[in-house]
């Protein structure tokens, strides 16, 4: 798949330079396709279109109901191509097909939740002023032009997590794609236009780090919505702070699964495989620390080794493969260094270790690895690895477990398992994290999603996601 034009303001345009972004499939290093890299001039053109849309175009001035109608039509068009997109993404960023299918199905639910929230959202309220002197009109108006910068690990989900609330609020958007997944989102712009989005409202670009930073600091951009690494988020926050620019950051995690003493350990081993090693561990919400009562650690490790060790590793485009390669060779090298560091720090290896999986002769693969007897102070328990590496950490009491779960700079996800759901709920209230599940509960796309600490600033999904793209105006009468 090769494209020669870039999508600026709802139109396919010739790029300002001939620099191109090539995408390679990390399973066999085959070339998937290429698109133009955006230049500084292309960013200027995209911002100019977005400013025109915001300052004088129809989109911010349409009724919320009319914007909802456009996004509802887009959701229908996107859902019709769910499996097509899942297969394409799997062959682009090497995410396992089971994962990309699950994500695309989840996107449909996520979109529906945003639309439901928009229908109930208090876009404008009129009420008596406090004290009885006149009236107040309380309006929620679009924040302005949004630069949405997304990662490669779940590209459509990440894109639509930002596009839906921003567009529903009336904001024009410049969507900046990751170079590793430069291809899959190219169709989103055409689908938005088919759904009825006016011209100038949306641009979709691929850019390197320097040009991406130029977009972030562009004076015509009012808000940055970013998902990615904590380091990159810190840089964006620094740049935005100098300009008092609105910013939303969904960053990394080092989430904990806490097994209370009455948990059925063998029964939860498969759930832990999915929660810890989803997308071959390349997920910000991966629960890569598992806290278990010290006396039951051996029982848990045995169950995990049996389950994870039996999972198929191979071509991510095949239904049978639970694990695929990592997104690129540089990521494989990074994860391998973390594994070697964990061994050097004294953590015990129950499964995996450094090196390629047995029977695999090419591709950016690492062996799924389980460490046990991990001290929470070790780097493998403190740093986001973004690969299939699990740390089993023993604890001595529930107070000890809560202390260990909270002993991290992150606070994005987590889980609690117990035979008594109310007991698990009480424990969950003690954990400093943005989202937490009990006994494997599915996420609620109408509830706020985001993190504490180094896991970010702000919330996404549902009405909280809409809140992130509005300014509040009070008119007193």
Reply yes or no on whether 422 is catalytic: no
Judge if 267 and 358 occupy the same domain. yes
Tokens of 27: 């399973």
User: Binning pLDDT at 50, 70 and 90, where does residue 266 land?
Assistant: confident
Residue 376 placed within a domain: yes
Judge if 45 and 101 occupy the same domain. yes
pLDDT at 25 over 90: yes
Judge if 264 and 347 occupy the same domain. yes
Mean of pLDDT over the chain: 97
pLDDT tens digit string along 122-168? Answer: 999 999 999 888 999 999 999 999 999 999 999 999 999 999 999 99
- Give the pLDDT score at 198: 98
Reply yes or no on whether 284 is catalytic: yes
Judge if 274 and 193 occupy the same domain. no
Residue 114 placed within a domain: yes
Domain that holds residue 295: 256-444
Judge if 19 and 116 occupy the same domain. yes
Q: Which residue has the tokens 């780097």?
A: 379
CATH code of the domain containing 367: 3.40.309.10
Tokens of 283: 């997920």
- Give the pLDDT score at 267: 84
Q: Which one of 92, 171, 180, 250 is the catalytic residue? A: 250
Judge if 301 and 433 occupy the same domain. yes
Judge if 108 and 166 occupy the same domain. yes
pLDDT tens digit string along 409-462? Answer: 999 999 999 999 999 999 999 999 999 999 999 999 999 999 999 999 999 999
Judge if 260 and 246 occupy the same domain. no
Which of 260-274, 290-304, 353-367 is modeled with the greatest confidence?
Answer: 290-304
Please state the rounded mean pLDDT for residues 21-45.
Answer: 97
Number of domains in the chain: 2
pLDDT tens digit string along 88-132? Answer: 999 999 999 999 999 999 999 999 999 999 999 999 999 999 988
- Give the pLDDT score at 355: 87
pTM: 0.96
Residue 449 placed within a domain: no
Residue 1 placed within a domain: no
Please state the rounded mean pLDDT for residues 194-213.
Answer: 97
Please state the rounded mean pLDDT for residues 281-301.
Answer: 97
pLDDT at 1 over 90: no
User: Binning pLDDT at 50, 70 and 90, where does residue 354 land?
Assistant: confident
- Give the pLDDT score at 382: 98
Q: Which one of 21, 171, 284, 391 is the catalytic residue? A: 284
Judge if 303 and 359 occupy the same domain. yes
CA distance 430 to 433: 9
């Amino acid at each position: 798949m090769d494209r020669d034009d870039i999508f600026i303001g709802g139109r396919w345009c010739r790029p300002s330079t001939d620099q191109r972004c090539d995408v390679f499939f990390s399973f066999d290093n085959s070339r998937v396709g290429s698109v133009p890299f955006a230049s500084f001039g292309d960013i200027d053109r995209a911002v100019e279109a977005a400013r025109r849309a915001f300052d004088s175009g129809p989109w911010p001035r349409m009724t919320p109901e009319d914007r909802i109608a456009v996004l509802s039509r887009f959701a229908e068009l996107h859902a019709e191509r769910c499996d097509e997109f899942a297969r394409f993404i799997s062959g682009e960023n090497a995410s396992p097909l089971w994962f990309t299918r699950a994500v695309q199905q989840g996107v449909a639910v996520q979109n529906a939740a945003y639309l439901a929230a928009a229908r109930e959202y208090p876009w404008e309220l009129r009420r008596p002023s406090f004290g009885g002197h006149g009236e107040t009109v309380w309006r929620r108006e679009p924040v302005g032009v949004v630069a949405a910068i997304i990662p490669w690990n779940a590209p459509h989900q990440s894109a639509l997590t930002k596009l839906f609330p921003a567009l529903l609020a009336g904001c024009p958007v410049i969507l900046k794609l990751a170079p590793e997944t430069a291809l899959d989102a190219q169709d989103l712009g055409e689908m938005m236009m088919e759904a009825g989005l006016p011209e100038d409202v949306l641009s979709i670009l691929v850019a390197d780090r320097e040009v991406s930073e130029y977009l972030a600091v562009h004076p015509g951009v009012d808000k940055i919505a970013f998902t990615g690494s904590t380091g990159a988020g810190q840089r964006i926050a620094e740049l935005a702070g100098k300009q008092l620019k609105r910013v939303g950051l969904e960053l990394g995690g080092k989430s904990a699964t806490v097994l209370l003493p009455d948990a059925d350990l063998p029964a939860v081993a498969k759930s832990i495989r999915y929660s810890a090693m989803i997308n071959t561990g390349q997920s910000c919400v991966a629960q890569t620390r598992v806290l278990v009562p010290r006396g039951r650690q051996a029982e848990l490790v045995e169950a995990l080794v049996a389950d994870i060790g039996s999972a198929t590793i191979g071509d991510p485009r095949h239904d049978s493969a639970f694990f695929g390669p990592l997104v690129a060779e540089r990521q494989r090298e990074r994860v391998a260094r973390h594994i070697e560091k964990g061994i050097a720090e004294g953590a015990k290896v129950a499964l995996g270790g450094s090196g390629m999986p047995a029977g695999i002769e090419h591709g950016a693969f690492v062996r799924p690895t389980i460490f046990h007897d991990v001290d929470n102070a070790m780097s493998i328990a403190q740093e986001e690895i973004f690969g299939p590496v699990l740390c089993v950490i023993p604890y001595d009491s529930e107070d000890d477990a809560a202390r260990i779960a909270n002993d991290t700079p992150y606070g994005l996800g987590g889980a609690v398992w117990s035979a008594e759901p109310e007991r698990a709920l009480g424990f969950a209230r003690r954990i400093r994290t943005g989202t937490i599940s009990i006994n494997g509960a599915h996420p609620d796309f109408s509830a706020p999603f985001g993190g504490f600490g180094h896991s970010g600033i702000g919330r996404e999904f549902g009405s909280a996601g809409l809140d992130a793209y509005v300014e509040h105006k009070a008119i007193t009468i």
